[in-house]
Amino acid sequence: EVQLVESGGGLVQPGGSLRLSCAASGFTFSTYSMNWVRQAPGKGLEWVSYISSSSSTIYYADSVKGRFTISRDNAKNSLYLQMNSLRAEDTAVYYCARVAVAGWYFDLWGRGTLVTVSS
């Protein structure tokens, strides 16, 4: 089955760190660009970060630049998001999402993992 499964979410204090993982299966992970997208409680979708298939190109939203680091391990079919200096406004469900081969849109999403930043 083609799927993405996120893990690593939880409760963390402001200023703390957390590492999210996304396990891919059912497709050739190494040929796809990947992203993290988040959704604060009761709010809309916000793109967070992009990484190309070979990790040669990486982008971040201004809201997380300098604090978050995206990476991947194609041998392990896994995507990661290292989140440092977390703030209350980072509280959200974090989704990993696959970029379609033919265009700049997301054709496969995981179920998400909840990150709560609170003291």
Binding site for another protein (CB under 8 A): 35, 37, 44-47, 50, 59, 61-62, 95, 100, 103-107, 109-112
Pick 46 or 77: Cβ nearer another protein? 46
Q: How far is the CB of 3 from another protein (least distance, A)?
A: 11
Going by C-alpha positions, the residue among 48, 71, 45 that lies closest to residue 61 is 48
- Where b means 16+ CB within 10 Å and e means fewer, 1-25 reads eeebebebbeebeeeeebebbbbbe
Q: How far is the CB of 6 from another protein (least distance, A)?
A: 10
Q: How far is the CB of 10 from another protein (least distance, A)?
A: 19
Pick 13 or 57: Cβ nearer another protein? 57
Which phi and psi angles does 33 have, rounded to 5°?
Answer: -75, 150
How far is Cα 110 from Cα 96, in angstroms, rounded to an integer?
6
Pick 12 or 110: Cβ nearer another protein? 110
How far is Cα 106 from Cα 114, in angstroms, rounded to an integer?
20
Pick 75 or 102: Cβ nearer another protein? 102
Q: How far is the CB of 95 from another protein (least distance, A)?
A: 6
